[in-house]
Structure 1
Amino acid sequence: MAWIDQILQEAEKAVDEAEVYYVTGTTVSADLKKEKVNLATTSRDCGLGIRTIHEGRIGSSSTNNPDQWRKCLDAAIASGKLATPQKWDGLPDAEKIPQRSLTFDPSMKVEPEIARDLLETMIGGAKKHPAEITSGSAGLSSAEVTLANSRGILYTDRHTGVSVSLEAISGQSTGYEFDHAWSIDRIDPENVGERATFYACGSAGGEDIPTGDYDLLLSPLAYAELLGNVFVPALSGRNVHAGRSRFGESLGEPVADTRISMYDDPHLPGANGSVLWDAEGTRTKRTDFIRNGILESFAYDIKTGSRFGKKSTGNAVRNGFGGLPAIGHHNFVVDGKRGTVDDERVVFVHNVVGAHTANPMSGEFSVELSNAFWMEGGEFRKPVRSAMLSGNVFDMHRSVSGLSKESRSVGSLILPSIKINNLHIIGK
């Protein structure tokens, strides 16, 4: 990594601080069109991102050709000269953080044959129900991330990933399912195929539901759509101080049912987002946002924390080497007292469509139900024909009546199925 040291040495001649973020990786992906592989690709990529700070002015640049690092550094310095200065508390100092990877499977081979096997297993599971496969995918990845800064940090982490998904159709009804993890041993492609065709077949011939208020059971997938588009952003310190959060004046107050707790646990064993340091090199730790319904804290990165007199909570993330650090989370967990949530008659909702249109300030939403069923005694009953669900994401967290015993990873969220009383369905 001598060339990274050279970047930092050159940067210090012109700016107060500098940071280098370097990523290398291999990715294999294969896509299905019906039951045949339509496209398979293998790519090996690398990328370099440089951030500079001088007198509170932050500049950045990136390139996928590390040999061009001098031009990249010059561009970062030049962009910083155009930036508006802000209060800046400094990049983190080096700490004795263990340099071990929490989401790396050394036995996983990132090869086309493995992706093909995943697809075949998924297709095998799909044949358990008489639906037609419309599309699917399998992906494998392995990456190494290096972070260095002018205050002595030089950290390296490695990550692996595997994902599968399948979409099926039966008549006019569709079904979709997916799985993802950092190790092949942690996914079940056969179950993904079986669930996708089950939802496609099971949703056929649905019955109309009268407009009214119902007790709903949202699957982790449906819950993630509403939570991730409205509730999670409201816990960002940046949104709070910009006046874009419902929770701006609510610290120490109840904002959810007492059975609800929400936290980011970056050290959770086996979880996909577990890391020992965040995208700026800050040591990660558990951050409790809501405990037993009471709002306790918000998430911060260095930039937002410096500006508003707060400390980084280790919640900086990056969307690739070309993106600047931003406030996010690693393993966002919804937890609380668990129990049986499907014994009484409820409307089960596997997925929703249109959650991105929800108002993040007010929490108001109107979404289409996808793969909805009447459920009772833990069994699927009659499917529910297309209907709309409307309500308020913040208010519905005050009407929670139960969390399922099991949780599921949906992206970086780890969620149970959640039972909510008296949500409004617009049917017939």
Structure 2
Amino acid sequence: MTRWWVAVAWIEELFKQGEKRVDELEVYCFSGTSVSADLKQRHVSLCSSSVESGLCIRTIDKGKIGSSSTNDPQQWQACLDAAIAGGRLATPQEWRGLPDPVMLSKEDLAYDPSLVVEPEMAHDLLQGMLEGAAAHPEASVTSGGAGIAVGEITFANSHGIRYASRQSEVSISLEAISGQSTGYEFDHAFSRALVNPAKVGEQAAFLASRSAGGTDIPTGEYDVILSPIAYADLLSNIFVPALSGRNVLQGRSKLAGRIGETVTAPLLTLYDDPHRQGADGSTWFDAEGSPTRQLDFVRDGVLKVFAYDLKTAYRAGTESTGSAVRGGFAGLPAIGHHNVIVDGKREEIFDEPAIYIHSVVGAHTANSLSGDFSVEMSNPFRVKNGGLAEPVRGAMLTGNFFDLQKQVVALGKETRAVGSYILPPVKVNKIRVIGK
């Protein structure tokens, strides 16, 4: 069991009342503080701070699930009443109970206790990005942002679970423009010491200035290098949803029924590591109180497992994989992931001609069932002599991402965190590019 403070002792009274009325219930409580500041060109246009709190109660009675949330935890009695009332109207479903407590580590995996949430730090982060962008004076800063946040999650259920964890985050981003070309870069980490505002500013300005005056490219098949940003965008919109047990059950996953089959290039391994030190999604317990563990989705190209939360696991006749997440305190548990990591043998991938794609636009429009996609290439460059050469203008990348996963021929040496994805650039041979 992790920490439990007297400050949330009211939860015990909530259970005392709730257990008289329903079979089971759980409580998810969040509190946090944050500061953010925005740039408009080179000037701070907005700085704000906030103190947030929220409560979500979920009840289960005879297989009927009800829920309610409030941003004022002191109103827990009304919230409990609403959850129970909603449950009475729900359709019964297969249910085998909430998880029981287990011994968990007390370590906070992504929390910096020295981080101070203050406007001065946000201002310093913005200033650092502006100084970095000055390395490319031909590019002008259009916008940017910096944020610092710390928060605490308290989770409890009627089986005796009493868990708590703390998180912190520092995030920065900058956008620049040169002529008609733009550049965007960002960084995020749980500690101020791990973000580099000068590098973010320099890279955004570099992309804008170097992308100016790009040349057209003929339509055809090319060897392509997807940056971690571009690869994560396609991966998160197409491949990872196919690993959801819910999509498998509902016939919305192209990977359904393929456990044990080769679904990517053999050099690829893809797994969820919820215990990775310092990563954004790291946690010892998921959004339903199930203990988390590493999930090897794809090992050496072979599909091994799907992700499940409690509700979907019971429907599928299996067990939760500790994969439940919430989209904020008001969000109900749903299948997700914690830290998706792509790994395998690393090598130099810039030593032969290719098209490098920094990011893509439109990945959210891809067909997640079939895998078909057509996206605009953002900040693409030709690769020559081990580095980036002339920029490419006005081209689209198109194909099928499930096929693309099998065409990956190499993983680059860099590793980068892009939200909850930690991955390298990848090289893919003979992908169709639509140019002029």
**Contact 2:231 2:426 survives alignment (8 Å):** yes
The alignment partner of 1:283 has SS state of: coil
Instruction: Write the distance in 2 (CA, Å) between the matches of 1:345 and 1:324.
Output: 47
The alignment partner of 2:406 has SS state of: coil
The alignment partner of 2:425 has SS state of: strand
Instruction: Write the distance in 2 (CA, Å) between the matches of 1:116 and 1:310.
Output: 50
**Contact 1:334 1:415 survives alignment (8 Å):** yes
Q: Is 2:317 aligned against 1:309?
A: yes
Candidates 78, 81, 105, aligned match of 2:112: 105
Q: Which residue of 1 aligns with 2:15?
A: 8
Instruction: Write the distance in 1 (CA, Å) between the matches of 2:65 and 2:313.
Output: 15
Q: Which residue of 2 aligns with 1:201?
A: 209
User: CA shift at 1:139, angstroms?
Assistant: 0.2
Q: Which residue of 2 aligns with 1:274?
A: 282
Instruction: Write the distance in 2 (CA, Å) between the matches of 1:183 and 1:377.
Output: 37
Q: Is 2:53 aligned against 1:46?
A: yes
Map 1:19-30; keep pairs closer than 5 Å: 19-30=26-37
Amino acid at match of 2:248: V
Amino acid at match of 1:262: L
Candidates 242, 261, 279, aligned match of 1:234: 242
Amino acid at match of 2:44: V
Q: Is 2:66 aligned against 1:59?
A: yes
Q: Is 2:165 aligned against 1:171?
A: no
**Contact 1:348 1:375 survives alignment (8 Å):** yes
User: CA shift at 1:186, angstroms?
Assistant: 1.2
Candidates 152, 174, 177, aligned match of 2:160: 152
Q: Which residue of 2 aligns with 1:184?
A: 192
User: CA shift at 1:310, angstroms?
Assistant: 1.1
Q: Is 2:414 aligned against 1:411?
A: no
Q: Is 2:387 aligned against 1:379?
A: yes
The alignment partner of 2:293 has SS state of: coil
Q: Which residue of 1 aligns with 2:4?
A: none
User: CA shift at 1:376, angstroms?
Assistant: 2.1
Candidates 337, 348, 353, aligned match of 1:340: 348
How many residue pairs get aligned? The number is 428
User: CA shift at 1:8, angstroms?
Assistant: 1.2
Deviation string for 1:141-188 (max 9, x for gaps)?
000110000000010100000100000000000000000111111111
Q: Which residue of 1 aligns with 2:129?
A: 122
User: CA shift at 1:220, angstroms?
Assistant: 0.5
Q: Is 2:338 aligned against 1:330?
A: yes
**Contact 1:135 1:166 survives alignment (8 Å):** yes
Instruction: Write the distance in 2 (CA, Å) between the matches of 1:339 and 1:169.
Output: 33
Q: Which residue of 2 aligns with 1:75?
A: 82
Instruction: Write the distance in 2 (CA, Å) between the matches of 1:267 and 1:377.
Output: 39
**Contact 1:99 1:155 survives alignment (8 Å):** no
Instruction: Write the distance in 2 (CA, Å) between the matches of 1:327 and 1:413.
Output: 16
Amino acid at match of 2:207: Y
**Contact 2:110 2:277 survives alignment (8 Å):** no
User: CA shift at 1:96, angstroms?
Assistant: 1.1
Deviation string for 1:260-314 (max 9, x for gaps)?
1100011112322211111111111100000010000000111111111111111
**Contact 1:262 1:334 survives alignment (8 Å):** yes
Q: Which residue of 1 aligns with 2:43?
A: 36
Q: Which residue of 2 aligns with 1:297?
A: 305
User: CA shift at 1:397, angstroms?
Assistant: 0.6
Amino acid at match of 2:271: Y
Q: Which residue of 1 aligns with 2:3?
A: none
User: CA shift at 1:12, angstroms?
Assistant: 0.7
The answer for unaligned runs of 5 or more in structure 2 is: 1-7
Deviation string for 1:219-268 (max 9, x for gaps)?
00011111000000000001001100000121110101000110001111
Instruction: Write the distance in 2 (CA, Å) between the matches of 1:367 and 1:406.
Output: 24
**Contact 2:227 2:425 survives alignment (8 Å):** yes
Candidates 130, 147, 150, aligned match of 1:139: 147
Instruction: Write the distance in 1 (CA, Å) between the matches of 2:19 and 2:113.
Output: 37
The alignment partner of 1:397 has SS state of: helix
Q: How does the TM-score come out when normalised to structure 1?
A: 0.99
Out of 192-201 and 61-70, give the one that drifted further.
61-70
Runs of 4+, deviation exceeding 4 Å: none
**Contact 1:365 1:390 survives alignment (8 Å):** yes
Amino acid at match of 2:234: L
Deviation string for 1:352-395 (max 9, x for gaps)?
00000000000000000100000123311010001111000100
The CA RMSD measured in Å over matched residues stands at 0.7
**Contact 2:111 2:278 survives alignment (8 Å):** no
Amino acid at match of 1:42: S
Amino acid at match of 1:143: G
**Contact 2:104 2:284 survives alignment (8 Å):** yes
Instruction: Write the distance in 2 (CA, Å) between the matches of 1:378 and 1:178.
Output: 24
The alignment partner of 2:409 has SS state of: strand
The alignment partner of 1:74 has SS state of: helix
Instruction: Write the distance in 2 (CA, Å) between the matches of 1:49 and 1:269.
Output: 28
Q: How does the TM-score come out when normalised to structure 2?
A: 0.97
Instruction: Write the distance in 1 (CA, Å) between the matches of 2:140 and 2:15.
Output: 55
Instruction: Write the distance in 2 (CA, Å) between the matches of 1:139 and 1:398.
Output: 38
Instruction: Write the distance in 1 (CA, Å) between the matches of 2:388 and 2:363.
Output: 24
Q: Which residue of 1 aligns with 2:273?
A: 265
